C-alpha cells in the first residue's frame, strides 16, 4: 500500500481489519496483563471479539469514509464485550463523529477524529481512571497533533505517544506497578494503532509489548465466543493447546479454519491455543497432533448445551409490564434463582464470559417492559450493560452490582409496586448491605496486595481484592470469611460452583458453622464455572 | 344514651386497656386438633406461640359464633353500638357480627377496619375514647373511619414456614415456593397485604422497619405488634419513640394473625399525623 494522503471508505475498512489482525495476534499477551490472577473476561479476547463483531457484521463498505466509520461504530457498540470492549466501541463512535459527513479523510480530519474518539472513550466511563486505556487514547490524540503533516505522520506520532503513555500506566495505577504490568486495555489499543499505522505505511506491524508479566498463563480458554455462534452451526466447541517448537501460527490458523468455524488461533512459536467449533472434533485434534503435543483439551457439545439453555432459560414471550429486571448470570442455576426471586429473564455471562452489549440488549427487548432494571453482577459487564441500556428503546436503569451475591441482595429489595427510580435506589442500597467473597483457582503466578500466588493454587477474594491463598478450598473459604467482620447472627450464604459436589459443599458449610459461633450458614447450588464458591456475608 | 365499642380478639387489644375504656371484646376460637380454646381467655399470646411450635396439630382459628355477638350486643344494653373488626378478608368475624346485629336490640354500626391485630386495636381505642367523650354514633364512626384511613402497617416474618402451612395473607402468597430462604416484609394498606421487601437476616429486617418508619414520619401514634419477640419489640419501640406524638405501644400478636405468621413476627402500625 502506497503512502496515502487521504483515507476513503475502502481504505478505512482495510485499516480497521489490519488493526483487528494486530490486536488478535497479540491478544494472548494482552490477556496475560490482567492484574488479578482470576479466571476473568480477558481483555485481549474482549477487545478482539468486539472488533470482530464489527468486521463480521453486514456492513456495506463504500468509498464514503464517514458512512463506513458510522457503520463500524454501530456494529462495534453492539458487539462490545467487557469494559475494554465498550471503551473501544466508544472510541469508534467518537471516531465516526469526527468523520461525520466526510467522504475522504485527510490528516486534519484524522486528527479531529482521534480527538473526538478519545473524548467519547472518557464519556463512556462514569469515573474515568487514569493509567488505563483512556489515558493511552488521549495521549495518542494529543501527541499526533504536530501541525501540517501526512496521514502516516499523524498515525506514527499517535502510536509513539500511545506507547509512551502505556509505559507510564504503572506509575498512575499502583495495582499495575505491583503486578509489574502495563494496562491491558492500553496495550490492546496500542496494538490496534500499530495495525492502523502498518496498513497506511504498507509495512508489517511492529508491536512494542510494554514489559508484560510472564506470559505463561495457560489458563482455560474463556467461553466468551459462545454468543458468537448464534447464527452458526453449533457442533462441538473444541479447545486445546498445541505445545511444540517453531510452530507457525499463520499456517496452523489456515489449517484450522479449513476444518472448523469460529476459529480463534493465538499464541507463539511454542504454545498455540485453538478455539474452534467443528461438527466433528476428530480431524481438528488430529490436525493439532500433527504439529505438536496437545494439552488442556476441552470439548463441549454445543448442540446439547444450546438445547439445554434454550429449554430451561428461553422465555418466548413475556407479557408487557411497566417494569422488569434483566440480570446477567453465570449459570443455569442462577438463572432459575434470579427468576425465582423476581427477575424477568437472565442473560448468560459473567466472569470469564462477558456478554456483548447486543446480548444484553436482546435481553432488554425480550423483557417487554416500559422500564428495565439491569443487574450486570460483574464489574466487567457494567459498561456493556450501560451501553445496551443507552441503545434500548425502553427506559433502562443499570443497578451496578459487582457480583452475583450483590445481584441477589439487590433483587430482594425489588418491589414491582414501587417506581423504578425508587427500586433502583433501594436495590443499590441493599446490594451494598452485603460483602461478597469468591474462591477460585489462580490462573497464573502473581503477587497482589503482598500475597504471593502460584498458578493452580486456591485463592480467596473479598470484594474483588485478593485476601487469601492456600492449597485447600475449605481453608481459603474459612480464611476469607475470617477476614470479614462476621458476627453472631450474621448469615453466610455459600453458592457452590460446577466443580464441587453437594456433599463436599455440605461438609464445607458444616466446617464454617463450627468455626464461626452463632452464624447462620446456608448452601445453594450455584453451578458457576471456575469459582468453587461465591459467598455472601450479611 | 351513649355509644359502646365492641371489637373481637383478633384486635389483640390488651384486656386492661379494653377494661379501662369499656370496650367489649368478643373472642375468636383457636383449635389445636379437637382442643378448642377461647382466644385471650383460655390461651395467651405467648402460650399460643409455644403451643404452635410444640403441638402435633397445626392450629386453625374460627370466627366467634352469632350467639357470642348477640350476647355482647345485649350486654351493651340500650346503648348504640359500633362493632369494630378484623378485615373480612382475613376472618369471617364480620359475618357473625352482621347476623347478630340484625337481631340486636339497639342500633349497631358495623365497621371493617380492613386490618388486623394492633391495627384494629388502634381504631377501637380511638373510637372508644371519642365515645367516652359523649360523641354520637355518627361522630364516633367518623373517628374510626379517619383513623383507619390513616393507618399503614409493615411487618417482618421470621420464616415462610407458617405461610407455607396454608396461611393466607393476601398477595404474600406470591412469596411461597421460593428457592431462597428469605424473611419477607409485608405491607398492609388499603385493605390489601403486599410483599414489600425481602431480606435474608432478621437484623436487616428490623433495620428496614425502622428506616421505613423514618421515611414516612412523623406519626400521631405508633404501635408495635410482635409474636414472642418482646426484646426486639422493645428495641424497636425505643428507636421509633421520637417519630410519634404519643408513646409507642407494644402489643402481642394473638392466634388469628400468629397462625399465618408463626413466632418471631414483628410489625409496626403507623398512624399518620
Report the distance separating Cα B252 and Cα A452, nearest Å.
57
Report the distance separating Cα A99 and Cα A52, nearest Å.
21
- Of A201, A218, A241, the last residue of a domain is A201
Residues 6+ apart with CB under 8 A from A200: A1, A3, A4, A7, A15, A151, A152, A155
**Residues of B (169-228) whose Cβ lies below 8 Å from A:** 178-182, 194-204
Q: Do A446 and A427 sit in the same domain of this protein? A: no
Where in chain B are the domains? Answer: 3-28+63-149, 151-272
CB B225 within 8 A of CB B258: no
Residue given cell 476428530 in the structure block = A282
Q: Which of B179, B195, B207 to mutate to test the interface with A (most CBs of A within 10 A)?
A: B179
Q: Do A65 and A86 sit in the same domain of this protein? A: yes
State the pLDDT confidence band at A187, using cuts at 50, 70 and 90: very high
Q: Tell me the shortest Cα–Cα distance from B61 to chain A, in angstroms.
A: 31
CB A169 within 8 A of CB A182: yes
Report the distance separating Cα A92 and Cα A90, nearest Å.
5
Please, which residues bridge with residue A452 across strands?
A447
Q: Do A185 and A90 sit in the same domain of this protein? A: yes
Q: Do A100 and A128 sit in the same domain of this protein? A: yes
- Of A269, A302, A335, the last residue of a domain is A302
Report the distance separating Cα B64 and Cα A10, nearest Å.
87
Q: Is residue A193 part of a domain?
A: yes
Report the distance separating Cα A271 and Cα A273, nearest Å.
7
For the record, the C-alpha cell of A182 comes out as 502495563
Closest CA to A188 of A307, A303, A51: A51
State the pLDDT confidence band at A305, using cuts at 50, 70 and 90: low
**3-state secondary structure (DSSP) of residue A230:** coil
Tell me what percent of the residues of chain A surpass a pLDDT of 90. Answer: 52
Task: Give residue-wise pLDDT tens across range B59-80.
Answer: 988 999 999 999 999 998 888 9
Task: Give residue B61's pLDDT.
Answer: 87
Q: Is residue A4 part of a domain?
A: no
Task: Give residue A209's pLDDT.
Answer: 59
Q: With the CA atoms of A22, A27, A32 and A35 taken in that order, what torsion angle do they form, in degrees rounded to the nearest 10?
A: 90
Residue given cell 382459628 in the structure block = B61
Q: Which of B198, B203, B205, B212 to mutate to test the interface with A (most CBs of A within 10 A)?
A: B198
Rg (CA), chain A: 23
- Which residues of chain B have a pLDDT value below 70? 1, 166-174, 176-177
What's the farthest any 2 CA atoms get from each other in chain A?
A: 75
Q: What is the separation of C-alpha B185 from the centre of its chain, rounded to a whole number of angstroms?
A: 16
Q: CB distance A493–B195 less than 8 Å?
A: no
First to last CA, chain B: 31
State the pLDDT confidence band at A225, using cuts at 50, 70 and 90: very low
Per-residue pLDDT for A310 more than 70?
no
For residue B243, give the H/E element and its range.
none
For the record, the C-alpha cell of A155 comes out as 498515525
Q: Do A391 and A446 sit in the same domain of this protein? A: no
Residue given cell 460452583 in the structure block = A497
CB A387 within 8 A of CB A89: yes
CATH 3.10.130.10 fits B3-28+63-149, yes or no: no
Q: CB distance B180–A408 less than 8 Å?
A: yes
- Which domain, by its residues, includes A448? 435-537
CB A480 within 8 A of CB A511: no
Task: Give residue A1's pLDDT.
Answer: 40
Q: Do A406 and A455 sit in the same domain of this protein? A: no
Task: Give residue A60's pLDDT.
Answer: 87
Report the distance separating Cα B223 and Cα B163, nearest Å.
23
Q: Is residue A197 part of a domain?
A: yes
Residue given cell 345485649 in the structure block = B74
- Of A281, A302, A323, the last residue of a domain is A302
Q: Do A42 and A80 sit in the same domain of this protein? A: yes
Q: Do A244 and A376 sit in the same domain of this protein? A: no
Task: Give residue A222's pLDDT.
Answer: 29
First to last CA, chain A: 62
Report the distance separating Cα A269 and Cα A30, nearest Å.
17
Q: Which residue of A has its CA nearest to B178?
A: A340
Residue given cell 492484574 in the structure block = A35
Task: Give residue-wise pLDDT tens across range A102-124.
Answer: 999 999 999 999 999 999 998 87
Q: Tell me the shortest Cα–Cα distance from B198 to chain A, in angstroms.
A: 5
Rounded to an integer, the average pLDDT of A11-20 is 94
Task: Give residue B174's pLDDT.
Answer: 65
State the pLDDT confidence band at A502, using cuts at 50, 70 and 90: very high
- Label the pairing between strands A491-496 and A520-525: parallel
Q: Which of A327, A412, A488, A526 to mutate to test the interface with B (most CBs of B within 10 A)?
A: A412
Rounded to an integer, the average pLDDT of A282-295 is 89
Q: Do A389 and A510 sit in the same domain of this protein? A: no
The average confidence (pLDDT) of chain A is: 85
Q: Do A69 and A145 sit in the same domain of this protein? A: yes
Task: Give residue-wise pLDDT tens across range A20-29.
Answer: 999 988 888 8
Q: CB distance B181–A433 less than 8 Å?
A: no
Please, which residues bridge with residue B155 across strands?
B186, B267
Tell me what percent of the residues of chain A surpass a pLDDT of 70. Answer: 87
For residue A496, give the H/E element and its range.
strand A491-496
A285: domain CATH number is: 3.30.70
CB A49 within 8 A of CB A188: no
Task: Give residue A314's pLDDT.
Answer: 47
Task: Give residue-wise pLDDT tens across range A126-182.
Answer: 778 899 999 999 999 999 988 778 999 999 999 999 999 999 998 888 878 877 789
| Least reliable range by pLDDT among A173-182, A206-215, A514-523, B22-31 | A206-215
Q: Do A241 and A370 sit in the same domain of this protein? A: no
The CB density around residue A525, as the number of other CB atoms within 10 Å, is 19
State the pLDDT confidence band at A2, using cuts at 50, 70 and 90: very low
Task: Give residue A106's pLDDT.
Answer: 95
What CATH number labels B151-272? 3.30.1180.10
Q: Is residue A493 part of a domain?
A: yes
Of B4 and A319, which is predicted with more confidence?
Answer: B4
CB B246 within 8 A of CB B218: no
For the record, the C-alpha cell of A377 comes out as 453482577
Q: Tell me the shortest Cα–Cα distance from B179 to chain A, in angstroms.
A: 7
Q: Do A65 and A197 sit in the same domain of this protein? A: yes
State the pLDDT confidence band at A499, using cuts at 50, 70 and 90: confident
Number of domains in chain A: 4
Q: CB distance B180–A489 less than 8 Å?
A: no
Amino acid at each position: 500500500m502506497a503512502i496515502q494522503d487521504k483515507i476513503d471508505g475502502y481504505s478505512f475498512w482495510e485499516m480497521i481489519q489490519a488493526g483487528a489482525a494486530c490486536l488478535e495476534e497479540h491478544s494472548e499477551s494482552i490477556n496475560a496483563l490482567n492484574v488479578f490472577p482470576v479466571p476473568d473476561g480477558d481483555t485481549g479476547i474482549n477487545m478482539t471479539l468486539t472488533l470482530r463483531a464489527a468486521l463480521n457484521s453486514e456492513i456495506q463498505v463504500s468509498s464514503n469514509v464517514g458512512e463506513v466509520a458510522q457503520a463500524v461504530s454501530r456494529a462495534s457498540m453492539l458487539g462490545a464485550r467487557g469494559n475494554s470492549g465498550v471503551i473501544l466501541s466508544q472510541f469508534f463512535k467518537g471516531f465516526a463523529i469526527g468523520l461525520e459527513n466526510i467522504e475522504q479523510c485527510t490528516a486534519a480530519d484524522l486528527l479531529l477524529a482521534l480527538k473526538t474518539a478519545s473524548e467519547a472513550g472518557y464519556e463512556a466511563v462514569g469515573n474515568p481512571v487514569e493509567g488505563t486505556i483512556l489515558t493511552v487514547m488521549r495521549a495518542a490524540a494529543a501527541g499526533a497533533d504536530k501541525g501540517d503533516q501526512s496521514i502516516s505522520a499523524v498515525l506514527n506520532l499517535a502510536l509513539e505517544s500511545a506507547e509512551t503513555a502505556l509505559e507510564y500506566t504503572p506509575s498512575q495505577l499502583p495495582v499495575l506497578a505491583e503486578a509489574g504490568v502495563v494496562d491491558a486495555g492500553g496495550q490492546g489499543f496500542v496494538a490496534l494503532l500499530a495495525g492502523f499505522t502498518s496498513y497506511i505505511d504498507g509495512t508489517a506491524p511492529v508491536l512494542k509489548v510494554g514489559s508484560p508479566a510472564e506470559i505463561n498463563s495457560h489458563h482455560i480458554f474463556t467461553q466468551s465466543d459462545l454468543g458468537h455462534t448464534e447464527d452458526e452451526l453449533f457442533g462441538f466447541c473444541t479447545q486445546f493447546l498445541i505445545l511444540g517448537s517453531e510452530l507457525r501460527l499463520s499456517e496452523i490458523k489456515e489449517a484450522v479454519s479449513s476444518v472448523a468455524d469460529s476459529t480463534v488461533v493465538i499464541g507463539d512459536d511454542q504454545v498455540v491455543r485453538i478455539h474452534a467449533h467443528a461438527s466433528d472434533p476428530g480431524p481438528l485434534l488430529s490436525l493439532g497432533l500433527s504439529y505438536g503435543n496437545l494439552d488442556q483439551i476441552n470439548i463441549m457439545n454445543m448442540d446439547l448445551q444450546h438445547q439445554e439453555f434454550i429449554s430451561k432459560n428461553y422465555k418466548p414471550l413475556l407479557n408487557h409490564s411497566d417494569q422488569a429486571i434483566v440480570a446477567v448470570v453465570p449459570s443455569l442455576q442462577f438463572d432459575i434463582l434470579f427468576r425465582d426471586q423476581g427477575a424477568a429473564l437472565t442473560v448468560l455471562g459473567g466472569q470469564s464470559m462477558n456478554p456483548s452489549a447486543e446480548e444484553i440488549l436482546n435481553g432488554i427487548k425480550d423483557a417487554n417492559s416500559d422500564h428495565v432494571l439491569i443487574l450486570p453482577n460483574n464489574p466487567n459487564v457494567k459498561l456493556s450493560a450501560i451501553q445496551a441500556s443507552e441503545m434500548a428503546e425502553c427506559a433502562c436503569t443499570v443497578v451496578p452490582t459487582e457480583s452475583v451475591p450483590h445481584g441477589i441482595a439487590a433483587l430482594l429489595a425489588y418491589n414491582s409496586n414501587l417506581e423504578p427510580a425508587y427500586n433502583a435506589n433501594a436495590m443499590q442500597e441493599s446490594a451494598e448491605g452485603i460483602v461478597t467473597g469468591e474462591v477460585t483457582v489462580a490462573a497464573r503466578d502473581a503477587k497482589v496486595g503482598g500475597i504471593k500466588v502460584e498458578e493452580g493454587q486456591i485463592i480467596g477474594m473479598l470484594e474483588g481484592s485478593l485476601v487469601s491463598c492456600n492449597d485447600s478450598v475449605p481453608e481459603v473459604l474459612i480464611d476469607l470469611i475470617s477476614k470479614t467482620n462476621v458476627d453472631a447472627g450474621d448469615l453466610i450464604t455459600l453458592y457452590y460452583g460446577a466443580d464441587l459436589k453437594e456433599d463436599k459443599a455440605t461438609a464445607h458449610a458444616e466446617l464454617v458453622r463450627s468455626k464461626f459461633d452463632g452464624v447462620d450458614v446456608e448452601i445453594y447450588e450455584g453451578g458457576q464455572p471456575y469459582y468453587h464458591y461465591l459467598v455472601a456475608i450479611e | 344514651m351513649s355509644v359502646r365499642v365492641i371489637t373481637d380478639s383478633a384486635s389483640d387489644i390488651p384486656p386492661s386497656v379494653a377494661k379501662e375504656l369499656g370496650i367489649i371484646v368478643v373472642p375468636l376460637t383457636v383449635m389445636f386438633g379437637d382442643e378448642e380454646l377461647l382466644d385471650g381467655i383460655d390461651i395467651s399470646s405467648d402460650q399460643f406461640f409455644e403451643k404452635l411450635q410444640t403441638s402435633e396439630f397445626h392450629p386453625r382459628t374460627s370466627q366467634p359464633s352469632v350467639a357470642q355477638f348477640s350476647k355482647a350486643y345485649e350486654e351493651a344494653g340500650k346503648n348504640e353500638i359500633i362493632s369494630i373488626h378484623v378485615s373480612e378478608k382475613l376472618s369471617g368475624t364480620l359475618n357473625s357480627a352482621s347476623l347478630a346485629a340484625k337481631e340486636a336490640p339497639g342500633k349497631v354500626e358495623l365497621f371493617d377496619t380492613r386490618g388486623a391485630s394492633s391495627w384494629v386495636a388502634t381504631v377501637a381505642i380511638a373510637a372508644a375514647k371519642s365515645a367516652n367523650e359523649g360523641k354520637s354514633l355518627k361522630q364516633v364512626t367518623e373517628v374510626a373511619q379517619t383513623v383507619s384511613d390513616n393507618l399503614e402497617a409493615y411487618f417482618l416474618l421470621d420464616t415462610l414456614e407458617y405461610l407455607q402451612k396454608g396461611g393466607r395473607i393476601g398477595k404474600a402468597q406470591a412469596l411461597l415456593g421460593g428457592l431462597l430462604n428469605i424473611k419477607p416484609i409485608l405491607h398492609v394498606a388499603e385493605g390489601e397485604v403486599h410483599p414489600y421487601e425481602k431480606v435474608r437476616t432478621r437484623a436487616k429486617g428490623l433495620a428496614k422497619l425502622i428506616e421505613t418508619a423514618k421515611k414516612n414520619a412523623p406519626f400521631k401514634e405508633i404501635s408495635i405488634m410482635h409474636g414472642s419477640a418482646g426484646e426486639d419489640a422493645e428495641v424497636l419501640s425505643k428507636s421509633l419513640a421520637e417519630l410519634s406524638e404519643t408513646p409507642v405501644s407494644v402489643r402481642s400478636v394473638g392466634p388469628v394473625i400468629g397462625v399465618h405468621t408463626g413466632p418471631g413476627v414483628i410489625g409496626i402500625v403507623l398512624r399518620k399525623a
